[in-house]
Each structure stands twice: as structure tokens, then as C-alpha cells.
Amino acid sequence: MSTIHENSKNDQLNHSKADHAHDPLTTNQGVRVSNTDDSLKAGTRGPTLMEDFHFREKLTHFDHERIPERVVHARGFGAHGYFQAYAPMTEFTKAQFLQDPSVKTPVFVRFSTVVGSRGSADTVRDVRGFATKFYTEEGNYDLVANNIPIFFIQDAIKFPDVVHAIKPEPHNEIPQASAAHDTFWDFVVNTPETAHMIMWLLSDRAIPRSFRMMEGFGVNTFRFINAEGKAHFVKFHWKPLLGVHSLVWDEAQKLAGKDPDFHRRDLWDAISNGEHPEYELGVQLLAEEDEFKFDFDILDPTKFWPEELVPVKKIGKMTLNRNVDNFFAETEQVAFHPGHVVPGIDFSNDPLLQGRLFSYLDTQLIRLGGPNFHEIPINHPVAPVHNNQRDGYHRMTIDKGVTSYSPNSLQNNMPNPAPESVGYVHYAEKVEGQKVRTRSDSFKDFFRQATLFWNSMSPPEKQHIIEAFHFEVGSVMSKDIKQKVVDLFNHVDGQLASQIAAGIGAVPPTNPGGTGVTTSSPAVSQENTIKLPQTRKVAILAESGFNFPEITQVMDSLTGAGIHFEIISKNLGMITSVDGRQIEVNKTYLTTASIKYDAVYVTGGRQNVDILLGQGDSVHFINEAFKHAKAIGATNEGVDLLAASSIQGVALADPSTTAQLSSALGVVTIRNASDMNFFAQELIKGIAQHRHWGRQSQKGMIPA
């Protein structure tokens, strides 16, 4: 059953992907074409004739190839995979795809940035989308998530306002994919409910290391409904098995120029290499009778449910194992909608969710050309579709029979509504009240969770948030807005406000404020995440005259730990070791940079290191990696390159010692050694740590 279910969607998507390598070129009507390089002309140098139907068809199709890009989440990247439940969730929901651990439910996931256009860079500071389409036997279910568990606003009626404010300013279309401008911060200081989200946006969460190392959160509050009709409020989580890791800001900016496709390339390569990204699906469940037990409103989308108060229950795992065959047909045309739910999953009165239920569908109608976007292969369910909906743009189904209405007797009222036991039935929530344009008083606490988040950050994470304020608000032209930012975040924490003011030329608060919240939520700090070496990438600096046994021992150890590496040299081609053996160079200093790697290793060999010492690029490579707090290793003469760099505050292996390892702040060195095993294992530990924040105070002294 599980195999049939998983393959059915693949067959549906691949029905036209047979091998056509030897088929002749044709028009869209199947007419074979003998020449597609020259238009039909009246004489060799005469005018083109409009009777050339192949010419007209080819250009007409080209002229209409672009569809409107998404208003938000325009830049995205997708992959196929499958989901398996760990155990039946019958106690909480009747959703079938959450019951049988043997069933592999096909999924398609699209990761995205929010603000930038399709041509913007992957590594900008932004919220990331994490949308998953489950092709279940009961119909498609879309879990539309972000990598931050909350949102800027509480009510969807303000969604156009926040997007208009953060998008490029209308008079000059600047800046692209950035919040560093006046209109956005003007909106923030006049909308205090944004304060909590701004703390997350300016944290390391907004510059993830990769899509593979990024959490996903459903943001909104939904309901699980079981077969007996009992409901639980639910929040959805995706937990990456590689942990949650981020770039540093200088690195993110440089990557935007050197490799704007950094995140999509990382995901594509991982899947191509068989290192399939995995995420556990977790849920926070809350009985309806506990709805009001906290000091925040559980329906407020600017609040998260601290995991210490409502633990996350892991209920299944998603594996992404197949790249797309065609970006446009799949990633660009996929349509997500929070209203695509299956029996057992229902909505809450979250006012942001209620608006999304309208907006997403409305967007697909204009972007994908009409009401039949569900018939595009990437959107088509594996469950059979039977209804009386007809016609419209791009209709692909050929309906049979004479009836398209209900009730009818000509076709025995087919298709019949399903029994309530298997059909979708909304939760029977009692609702009463007067029609009012207002907001619940329980939504009016804007700052306490922002303080909780600040308290939860490690010292390096706090420093990164302060520096992010300096960059983003420091780019604002209005001094009045800058001052209002300081005043707004004084409500969160007085010390934070003073440190913001110090970097943007504003006046620190006379009376330092705060909320009085002293608790923290360790789960929101990336300091407490999983730290593994697998799938990390190391740059190995080498030139001719390197020590072959030495470098191969290290490479074997890295491979054994699931770590990738590339040989970096001045020129491409083969380089020769001191004993005449060769290895191939993968990249040069022109085609790569330290920002594309998680660590750097310098191998020994006197001639090799003398060449490296004569290259400013190799010294810069080390300096930049050290500034970005990455693991750095060097063996034997390779330590001389580190000694010639601007590395500070760490002791390097002494030339007079024999095989004595030196390891401090993620810099691992050894001299006069032939056995590299101990060194390699220590370097691997350093790589697994992701960053070595003990260098934080020294980064301003590094010329990189």
C-alpha cells in the first residue's frame, strides 16, 4: 500500500517524461519541423512572411512564458519527498496520513524568502517560507509554514500594510530584499505589535546556514479533531535532524554577491549526493479547556507557545529525496493554501489565519490564470476528484455526462456527498457575539514575549541582534524614526535600547525600561541545537609540493565523518606532491571563497606552504574564515600559513615540539607529526560546533 501510494504521485508527475532523446522537433500541434533557425522569407534578404506558422507559434509562446511572480515568497526552491508517521495519532486526529507508519505520503516542499523578487539573493536577512504539500489519500493538505514561529501583525487586514512597508520604496524601487529603509521602520514604530517579530527577524534565525538546517513553524493555531469530535488546539513544527544553524551577517552579505543561489544550490547538491534532508514533524497540543491558562492569548499570531509550557510531540518524519525535473512546471507553479485541509484538521479563530484563508486562494486565481490551477500536475491530488465545477481557463479534465448540478435525477444525483464519517465536517464550535471592528484585550501585550526571546539568547546571539539593529536602523534616513526605534524597544529591555542607540546615533533612554520578565525559553536559542559534522564542507588549501600521506589521511577521516571537501589552489588542474603523486584541484581563489565552506584545512609540505605564503588570497582565506568563527586546521609546515595570517588569541603548535596537538577557539594545529588521526578527530569536533564564538571580541581586528 505504501509503495503504491508514494509512486502514484511520481507517476502522475512523470507521465510525459519518457526518453525523447531521438524524437524529431515538432510544433505544439505535433507537426514535424525541419528548420528552426531561419524564418520563412520572400527571397534570401526579403521580409519574413507571416504565413510561417512555426515562427509565429515559437515567438508567441516565448512572449507569454512569464506569469506574475508571487507578491511575497517570490524567490523559492522546491523538492519532492515523502512523510511517514511514527505512530497512530487516533487520540487527537482522524487525519489518515497521520495514522499508519507504513504509509509513505508523497510531499512537495517549497522554501522561499518573503520580501525579495525572484531575482534576489538567497542569503538576505528575511523570514523564510517552509510550505509543504501532502498528497494524501483524502486529498491535498498544505502546511504553510515559516522558519519563525510568529508574525509581524495580529490581524490579516494589516497584511497589505506590512508588505507595502517592507517592499522597496515606490518612488525608486530601493532597497531590494531588505528591511533597511525608512518606510518599514516607520511602520514598525507605529505598530508596536511588531516588536516581538522584529527581535526574531534581527536574530540569526533570519540568515539560515541552509534550508536543511532551518526549522519550520505553522505560525497559526489550528485544531486537531478526532473521530469522536473532540478537538485540541495545535501548533505545527518542523525540526531538522541536522540542527538549526545560521550564517553570520558579513558572510551572508558576501554570499549574496559571490553566490546568490547559495541555499538552492546547497539543497540541490545534498539531494543529488544522496544526503536527503530530514525533518521531524512535531505538534504542540492543547486541550480546549486549557485555552486560557497562559498569560498570553494562544490565538495571537505574534506569540509562540514556549516549549517548556507546551512540549513538542514528535509524530513523524519527512525526507526530501528527489529534485525537481523542471523548475517552472513544479516549483513556480505549485500553489499552496492554508485552507487546503483534510478531515481531522480544522481552523481556529486566529485572525491572521482567517485572512490567509481568503488571500492565498485569491492570489492563485490571478497568478495561475484561473480557477483550474488544481489541475496543474504539481497541484493535482492523488485522491480522485469528482464535482460539478466546470470550464474556466486551462481546464484539463474532460468531463462526461449531461449533469453538472446538484441535486439531479438524470445521473442518480452523482457525485453524491460523502457520509459524515469519511467526509469533511467542520468542528461544531459555538460562536456568538456582536459585529465589531476591534481587537481582544488579550492581544494587547506587545512586549513580554519579546523580552522572553531576548532573555533566551546566548551572549553571541544577543550581540548579533544588536549589530543587526545597527545595520538595519542605521540605514534609515529619518533621525526621528531612529529615535522612535530606541523608544519602542526600551519597552522590551532598557539595556537593549541603550545598545541600539549607541550604534545609530540616537539618544539612549533616560529611564531604562523593560517588562519585568526574567524567564527564558532555551528552545528558541540556537546555542542549544543539535551539532553534527555530517554534510559540512571543508576547503583544503594546497599547492604543488604538498605532503601526500598527510593530506590523504585527513581527507579519509573527513569522508568517514560524512564531511565533504574541495581542494583549493591558484590554478585548476593537477598538483604534484613532494613524492610525485597528484591530486586534482576543484576550485581556485577566483571561483570560490571561504564563505562557501564550514571550515578550512592547510596541509603541510615545505614547497606547498612557501607558495601559499606568497599568495595574498590564501592568507585572506584564513583571515576571513577566522573572522566568521569557523573551524581552522593546519598540519606541520601548514601551521606557518596560520602564523603569517592575522589570527589572534590562539596558541599555534610550537615548531620545537613533536606531535603535540594545539586546539583553542576552533583552531587545531599539530607539527612534526606523521599520524594525522588525532588531529583529524579534533578538527571534526571543531567543525561539528558550527561556530566558535569565543573569537567574537577579535573579529574587528581581522582584515577580511
Q: Which amino acid is at 268?
A: W
Residue 556 has pLDDT above 50, yes or no: yes
Residue 497 has pLDDT above 50, yes or no: yes
Q: Which of 73, 196, 245, 263 is catalytic?
A: 73
What's the rounded mean pLDDT across residues 506-528? 97
Q: 146 an active-site residue?
A: yes
Q: Would strands 313-323 and 76-85 be described as parallel, antiparallel, or unpaired?
A: antiparallel
What lies within 8 Å, CB to CB, of 350 at 6+ separation is 220, 221, 299, 300, 301
What's the rounded mean pLDDT across residues 410-415? 91
Q: Which amino acid is at 552?
A: T
What's the rounded mean pLDDT across residues 191-201? 98
**513: buried, middle or exposed (CB in 10 Å: 19+, 13-18, 0-12)?**
middle
What's the rounded mean pLDDT across residues 77-96? 98
The predicted structure's pLDDT at residue 10: 66
Residue 420 has pLDDT above 90, yes or no: no
> Which phi and psi angles does 317 have, rounded to 5°?
-135, 140
Q: Say what percent of the chain tops pLDDT 70.
A: 97
What's the rounded mean pLDDT across residues 393-420? 91
**229: buried, middle or exposed (CB in 10 Å: 19+, 13-18, 0-12)?**
exposed
By mean pLDDT, which of 235-244, 410-419, 662-671 is the weakest? Answer: 410-419
> Which phi and psi angles does 300 have, rounded to 5°?
-80, 115
Angle (CA) 658 557 612, round 5°:
65
CA torsion angle for 587, 588, 591, 596 (degrees, to 10)? 60
The predicted structure's pLDDT at residue 12: 59
If we measure between CA atoms, which residue out of 569, 646, 563, 564 comes closest to residue 603?
A: 569
CA distance 258 to 269: 18
CA distance 482 to 507: 9
Residue 3 has pLDDT above 60, yes or no: no
Q: What is the pTM of this model?
A: 0.95
CA-only gyration radius of the chain, Å: 29
CA distance 110 to 245: 19
What's the rounded mean pLDDT across residues 298-304? 98
Q: Which of 54, 80, 140, 146 is catalytic?
A: 146
The predicted structure's pLDDT at residue 246: 98
C-alpha cell at 659: 606531535
What's the rounded mean pLDDT across residues 532-537? 98
By mean pLDDT, which of 93-107, 431-445, 550-564 is the weakest? Answer: 431-445
Residue 683 has pLDDT above 90, yes or no: yes
CA distance 546 to 602: 10
pLDDT band at residue 91 under the 50/70/90 scheme? very high
Question: Residues 353, 157: contact at Cβ < 8 Å?
Answer: no
> Which phi and psi angles does 429 have, rounded to 5°?
-80, 135
If we measure between CA atoms, which residue out of 278, 338, 264, 256 comes closest to residue 111?
A: 264
CA distance 82 to 107: 5
Residue 375 has pLDDT above 90, yes or no: yes
Residue 383 has pLDDT above 70, yes or no: yes
pLDDT band at residue 418 under the 50/70/90 scheme? confident
Q: 379 an active-site residue?
A: no
Residue 696 has pLDDT above 90, yes or no: no
pLDDT band at residue 422 under the 50/70/90 scheme? confident
What's the rounded mean pLDDT across residues 485-490? 98
Question: Residues 659, 627: contact at Cβ < 8 Å?
Answer: no
Q: What is the DSSP string of 471-523?
A: HHHHT---HHHHHHHHHHHHTTBHHHHHHHHHHHT-PPPSS--B-------GG
What CA–CA distances, in Å, run from 86 to 83, 217, 274, 315, 499?
10, 19, 23, 5, 46
pLDDT band at residue 4 under the 50/70/90 scheme? very low
pLDDT band at residue 656 under the 50/70/90 scheme? confident
- Beta bridge partner(s), residue 223: 233, 346
Q: What is the DSSP string of 180-238?
A: -SHHHHHHHHT-GGGHHHHHHHTSGGGSBS-GGG--EE--S-EEEE-TT--EEEEEEEE
Domains of the chain in sequence order: 2-15+25-63 (4.10.91.20), 76-375 (2.40.180.10), 453-528 (1.20.1370.20), 537-701 (3.40.50.880)
CA distance 421 to 416: 14
Average pLDDT of the chain, as a whole number: 95
